[in-house]
Structure 1
């Protein structure tokens, strides 16, 4: 089968590789859509911390936001899975440690991460093998495009819920990329008044197209009380800015990661009686995200700017926009095309 393989920083190729075989407890999936993520870009540049911590190494196959259809199953797996449309959890815990037993497999010390960590091949290929325990069934109303948006959506849903806002509350999202916009959609679905802050490029116009009235830059941000602030950016200075801006008694949610340590003054955190929450992984939010997409309360389709084949993944990772791409921040890949 064909697969996109990253061989070193900035070096890649589409290779013919052996088709996966389902081990006991696993399923092989025909991949239909894969989202290109900021984490993939970090592996492409060589900046991803896992490379320097020994959790990941080249060559590697990227792709952790995906959807597809089960083609085969291994020993011990109910054959009823064959033919089901699915997406999969990125985080694969060991299943035996204290964290896994408590339902926190996404922070298991020995976890694998599909297309990211522990030499678990990702979905930028025609087929993918994963544990059947990681699969989530997609209803008919959630097609391949929406299915590949469930994983980032799960992160966003968890961040929005951690903000704990609803009607009568005002929330600010820092960083209107894929995750930030998804967070904004879930906050809006909860009934909050949603504001976004980004850079002064095309973000304001696109946010308005999505129905968000309040889009600001750091310079234009009005002096308003924000009951919750979600930092979905990679800017090192914004976690501290969020703490300074949030209302006393409010909530801060950190879901973005900066390339260098970002610092906050915990004295301010205490004196403002603020709750701060960190969000890693979509795992606990996947099923509810699927339901939100299925019932239409959140529609992330406009976020997808273009769909490309495996041969075009390299240029996308290098920062090139596909010809004819729309304004959205997300690029999808159809491994079967081309």
Structure 2
């Protein structure tokens, strides 16, 4: 039986790079040769054992992480057109059942019975040399979207959907809370739409990096100027910032929540009502993947500077543990290339 190398998380903080059986494509599936995988906050939560899915029974160790990926189709299963072989692709993380009311209405990303690649439902992730996924989840990458950009489509789709939910006009002003990967992607998409973008963060390094990306309006928490913000997008993991977002937004404006805290957040719904504010929650990149690919392909958004380093499978554990590889740049994102030693 053919084998491949894979990063396997066996318990909180415990992992191995081991030889595992290489996947064979089931009917309706393809096998992708993985070229690049992004490490995200969800992966870190699994590494620390704090991810809620572990307590809810949706996930269990041992598991293979990796849901932000790009690669090339290497094999197809029964019922899949062989024309897919050799195509460069990325894939939707959310795999709905396909038959429930939500799936039939195009909301497979909130299907109760969904699998999530590398996250939920025992669907192995992309931290391996090969990955099996349904052909229906694939999105083709044009030549102008390289492996780095391809692995940034999934987080970019979340950010794009947050900006779309804010319904920003070119003359509007938006405040983005949290200059991490998602917050910076939100800022990039909002800037591409012609919006005046403000970012709020805590650390000198994150604020300096945001300025290096060309964002002039960068503030520490507690120092944001008293300006009318037509929308506020919370891309942080701080439990108190959802309330800050509601306080900061203009009456009649919109607050968008795309970040998740490790404990419950609370807002005063009296303020929500009395300010006539619309609040929107964003889960999943699924409806925004194609538009994100187009934005990367035409260059209107270029998130490549966010990637601080690309390392091999053996360095995935230290990265998940919070270590920055030697020579890493200032960005918040790390990529894994399973082809590296």
TM-score under structure 1 normalisation?
0.99
Q: Shift in Å at residue 314 of structure 1?
A: 0.4
Residue 8 of structure 2: aligned partner:
5
Q: Shift in Å at residue 194 of structure 1?
A: 0.1
Q: Shift in Å at residue 219 of structure 1?
A: 2.3
Question: Per the alignment, in what secondary structure is the counterpart of residue 223 of structure 1?
Answer: coil
Residue 51 of structure 1: aligned partner:
54
Residue 256 of structure 1: aligned partner:
259
Contact 1:27 1:129 in 2 (8 A): yes
Residue 20 of structure 2: aligned partner:
17
Distance, in Å, in 2 between the alignment partners of 1:207 and 1:218 is 15
Distance, in Å, in 2 between the alignment partners of 1:289 and 1:168 is 22
Mapped pair 1:82 → 2:85 = yes
Question: Per the alignment, in what secondary structure is the counterpart of residue 203 of structure 1?
Answer: helix
Unmatched 5+ stretches in structure 2: none
Q: Shift in Å at residue 147 of structure 1?
A: 0.2
Q: Shift in Å at residue 200 of structure 1?
A: 2.9
Residue 139 of structure 2: aligned partner:
136
Contact 2:179 2:207 in 1 (8 A): no
Mapped pair 1:156 → 2:167 = no
Distance, in Å, in 2 between the alignment partners of 1:84 and 1:244 is 47
Residue 243 of structure 2: aligned partner:
240
Residue 104 of structure 1: aligned partner:
107
Contact 1:166 1:187 in 2 (8 A): no
Q: How does 1:1-338 map to 2 (within 5 A)?
A: 1-338=4-341
Comparing 243-252 with 162-171, which one deviates more in the overlay? 162-171
Distance, in Å, in 2 between the alignment partners of 1:329 and 1:166 is 28
Distance, in Å, in 2 between the alignment partners of 1:257 and 1:44 is 17
Contact 2:157 2:289 in 1 (8 A): yes
Distance, in Å, in 1 between the alignment partners of 2:246 and 2:97 is 36
Contact 2:178 2:201 in 1 (8 A): yes
Question: Per the alignment, in what secondary structure is the counterpart of residue 286 of structure 1?
Answer: helix
| Per-residue Cα deviation, 1:81-121 (whole angstroms, up to 9, x for no partner) | 00000000000000000000000000000000000000000
Q: Shift in Å at residue 221 of structure 1?
A: 1.1
Question: Per the alignment, in what secondary structure is the counterpart of residue 142 of structure 1?
Answer: coil
Distance, in Å, in 1 between the alignment partners of 2:196 and 2:250 is 15
Distance, in Å, in 1 between the alignment partners of 2:85 and 2:169 is 41
Q: Shift in Å at residue 136 of structure 1?
A: 0.2
Question: Per the alignment, in what secondary structure is the counterpart of residue 160 of structure 1?
Answer: helix
What do you get for the CA RMSD once the two structures are aligned? 0.5
TM-score under structure 2 normalisation?
0.99
- The number of aligned residues is 338
Q: Shift in Å at residue 191 of structure 1?
A: 0.8
Distance, in Å, in 2 between the alignment partners of 1:200 and 1:218 is 10
| Per-residue Cα deviation, 1:264-292 (whole angstroms, up to 9, x for no partner) | 11111000000000000000000000000
Distance, in Å, in 1 between the alignment partners of 2:166 and 2:306 is 22
Contact 1:65 1:150 in 2 (8 A): yes
- The structure 1 segments of at least 4 consecutive aligned residues displaced by more than 3 Å after TM superposition are none
Q: Shift in Å at residue 168 of structure 1?
A: 1.3
